[in-house]
Amino acid sequence: MNQTWSRGAALRTPFHDDSCWRGDDLAVRSGWRFELSESMRTDLVRAACEAFSDEGDPTVEREHLPWTPPEWLDDWLKAIVQSISTIGVAWATGLPVDQLGERRSARLYRAMGERMGQALTQNSRCEFLSPVFNEGVRFGYDSTSASQGRGYRSQAQLNHHVDPTDVVALLCIRKARSGGLSSIVSAAAVWNAMLAECPEHLPVLEAGFPYDRKGEEGPGERPVTEPIPVFGRSGQRLDCRYARSYIIGAAGRLDQPLSAAQIAALDAFDAIASRPGMAFRMPFEPGDIQWLDNLSVLHGRTAFEDDPDPSRGRMLLRLWLQMGDHPRWAGLPSAMRWAYARFGLLGRRADEGIPDQWAQPVERSDAREPIVRVDPAPAGVRPRLEMASELPPELTGEACWTAAQWADPTTWVELLSPAEINEIEHAARAWGDRDLLTLRAEHFPLPQFRSRIERAGHHLLEGRGFVLWRGLPVARWGRTLSQVAFYGLGQHLGPARPQNAQGQLLGEVRDLGLKSSDPSVRIYQTAERQSFHTDSCDVVGLLCLAQARQGGESALVSSQTLWNEIRRARPDLAAALLEPLATDRRGEVAPGERSFFMIPVFNWHQGRMSAIYHRPYIESAQRFPDAPRLSARQIEALDLLDQRAHDPAIHFLMRLEPGDIQWVHNHTLFHDRMAFEDWPELERRRHLLRLWLAPFEARPLPDVFAERYGCVEPGRRGGVMAGDRSSGQV
Ligand SMILES: [Fe+2]
Ligand SMILES: [Fe+2]
């Protein structure tokens, strides 16, 4: 057994073995796809019907199932193991799920898996066969299914990661209505790219990270693991271990935030793994089985939409296999072997038995978050444990604030100095009345003010998410000069994005006497109270020219804090907010687009949580017959989100004065405006100018934002795309 393990310089060479492929190449490669022929299917149906029942719940069965497999089966499985151990992946099609029924197919699948390796437990329910699905208990086997929402299963995109076992297998019982593609990427290909492009990150990844056990620790075990290296080499092959949400979870639990170097290394890893062409994406059809070597291949999943009928929702069955003394997996060094073969309650084999006390939930010493909880179950029914195993972590950082932090306005109101105002005025007068569309930062020199802009950019994108500048003499300047000044300042933060289908870059916010009950009216055109929402861009800016007679305060709330609150109180509803919801485009529809788009409220991507929210638009999207219906659980989740946002202990109000500029980061904050009563005289009425900006330094966003933002490239994204969406331009 090879127990040595190279790190450092000895490891730093590219790999060229069969497991090193790009997604584009894998698509055209042979030797890893296996189709069951008609006669093989007949044999399997006969063998399975003889041995296995189509009743009961196969996911809770712990015994080996006795059966007599067809003679050819072991040779077929050997070829599959050969593919897994070299290429890292095997894909079989044609398991006759429709003929066998779901329960019998599940048993056949597990029995086949147990001829390849040992099935391991996957959660603190000690399931050997774990259902992967969207919501509630949809397999129909468990009488506790009335307690819907238990068991974290979402429709959200899952980032690339490995599971803590030798081989993971997934059988598709039912597929999603759309989406839900399996995305796999070769660890060696990611390694080679990092070695070539950013080798400075490799020592950090080789040093490794502790992993959160997410409540799955056994009695006497610590809630986090020892550091587990991301990359190592045993023999001629690269070994990879990576699950970012567990790394971040451990950092939170240990109260040891990741260093900038660690975050940069993880970001580089994720960015390369999700680069176009790197990953291979494959749709699951019923009867498909995918096997992956967790040392060679990372897996993820694209977001999906389910059939509204829960009994027809996407359902996969997962097996974790330990491959015994197979040379690919036997030589693993103890650091990695320990971590993944004995991941707390996970990774026990059937022949080891399950200690009674382990079948009970673990009492947690740290009461911050209910990761494992038990539903009150009717007598005689096995308690069903909730696992938040893939829920993004609790968020930390400056953007997680509550109202009390801003009670003292001197901590956030920035009064501009006369010298700064002079500089801005000088730049604005130099521009004169030329077309604003052609004004760029270089046309608007601000040598002194520049440092304040840089601080603002940091507060917005990395910090608390808002900035208030006070004191622009807008009355003296008049409308045109104020417009130029505001637009010029904005250009220093990022390019402006169009705010409506007409491509307007500098918006006017005033009461046009319209009512939001008209579905073609956007709320900023009315005097009604808005609701907490985000605008469709990275940063929104408002310059106040005139304030209403009464009301019209601006409210801000941290969506990061809301995520934490909901995650703590109701992890099941937090999961619902990761599911894509139909959102109305309010008539601003580009040719070829549907009138709504699908996006989750909370989007976890590369270690950051970005929220996008506008409840009235989610509700009005229900007027479209082809929009997926909101489930009761989704509505409950949105209600909780609004309720927490409206808590005065969480949000805070500010009233903009004429000459104030407010900047807000939409990915971390929601904003709202109170109803107002305006002046009778037209010229005194509330009047604000609005900018939507796309800073080049903005955070990475997942692809799903392209639906709303046109593209996800910083500097070019956001705004209302009613022109050519593919270019992100109007
Ligand atoms: Fe996984
Ligand atoms: Fe807004």
CATH of the domain at 495: 3.60.130.10
**Are 409 and 530 in the same domain?**
yes
- Ligand 1 centroid to residue 556 C-alpha, Å: 36
Q: Domain ends where: 331, 355, 386? A: 386
Evaluate if residue 368 carries a pLDDT over 60.
no
Q: What is the pTM of this model?
A: 0.51
573-568-126 Cα angle (round to 5): 80
CA of 161 to the centre of ligand 1 (A): 6
- Statement to judge: residues 363 and 411 lie in one domain: no
The ligand placed nearest to the CA atom of residue 690 is 2
Convert the pLDDT of each residue in 442-464 to its tens digit: 999 999 999 999 999 999 999 99
Mean pLDDT of all residues in 37-42:
95
Nearest ligand atom owner, CA of 299: 1
631 CA → ligand 2 middle, Å: 26
Range scoring the smallest mean pLDDT among 380-389, 629-638, 699-708: 380-389
Q: Which residue has the higher pLDDT, 515 or 605?
A: 605
In a shared domain, residues 188 and 323: yes
Q: What is the mean pLDDT of residues 284-296?
A: 93
For residue 613, give the ligand nearest its CA.
2
Which residues are CB-contacts of 190 (< 8 A; sequence separation ≥ 6)?
240, 269, 272, 273, 278, 298
Model pLDDT, residue 144: 27
Give me the pLDDT at residue 656, please: 95
Query: How far does the centroid of ligand 2 lie from the alpha carbon of residue 38, in Å?
Result: 58
Q: Last residue of some domain: 332, 355, 386?
A: 386
- Ligand of minimum distance to the alpha carbon of 537: 2
**Are residues 151 and 226 located together in one domain of the fold?**
yes
Same domain, 125 and 212: yes
201 with 336, same domain: the answer is: yes
Looking at every residue in the chain, the average pLDDT score rounds to 81
Question: Is residue 723 scored above 70 in pLDDT?
Answer: no
Q: Which domain holds residue 541?
A: 405-560+603-610+651-700
CA distances from 85 to 107, 131, 402, 564, 594 (A): 24, 25, 51, 41, 44
Distance of CA 69 from the midpoint of ligand 1 (Å):
29
Interval between CA 534 and ligand 2 midpoint (Å)? 6
pLDDT class of 125 with cuts at 50, 70, 90:
low
Q: Does residue 276 lie within any of the structural domains?
A: yes
Distance 128 CA to ligand 1 centre (A): 15
Ligand 2 centroid from CA 540, angstroms: 8
The tens digit of pLDDT for each residue in 561-582 reads: 999 999 988 888 999 999 889 9
- Residue 199, CA distances (Å) to 6, 185, 204, 238, 577 in order: 16, 19, 10, 16, 37
Average pLDDT over residues 385-398: 66
178 shares a domain with 108: yes
Reported as a pLDDT band with limits 50, 70 and 90, residue 269 is very high
pLDDT tier for residue 148 given thresholds of 50, 70 and 90: very low
65 vs 516, more confident: 65
Per-residue pLDDT at 334 exceeds 60: no
Task: Kindly give the pairing relationship between strand 581-584 and strand 596-599.
Answer: antiparallel
Query: In this structure, are 272 and 195 located in the same domain?
Result: yes
582 occurs within a structural domain: no
Give the number of residues written for the chain. 730
Examine the domain organization and report whether 251 and 158 are in the same domain: yes
Whether residue 596 is contained in a domain is answered as no
Number of domains within the chain: 2
Is 118 among the domain residues? Answer: yes
Domain identity same for 308 and 419:
no
What stretch of H or E contains 644?
A: helix 632-645
Are 328 and 420 found together in one domain?
no
pLDDT band at 10 (very low <50, low <70, confident <90, very high): low
pLDDT of residue 722: 54
> Residue 681 half-sphere exposure, CB side, CA atoms within 13 Å?
4
pLDDT of residue 628: 87
The pLDDT score that the predictor gives to residue 635 is 93
User: Do residue 514 and residue 544 come from a single domain?
Assistant: yes
* 487 in any annotated domain: yes
108 lies in some domain? yes
Q: What percent of the chain has pLDDT over 70?
A: 80
CA of 556 to the centre of ligand 2 (A): 11
User: How many Å lie between the centroid of ligand 2 and the Cα of residue 558?
Assistant: 14
Over residues 227-248, the pLDDT tens digits come to: 888 988 766 788 898 988 788 8
In this predicted structure, the answer to whether residue 295 has a pLDDT above a threshold of 50 is yes
User: Ligand 1 mean position to 240 CA, how many Å?
Assistant: 14
User: Residue 135 falls within a domain, yes or no?
Assistant: yes
Q: Which residue has the higher pLDDT, 13 or 383?
A: 13
The 3-state DSSP composition of the chain as helix, strand, coil percent (nearest 5) reads: 35, 20, 45
Of 343, 358, 386, the position where a domain reaches its end is 386
Domain-embedded: residue 706: no
Ligand 2 centroid to residue 495 C-alpha, Å: 18
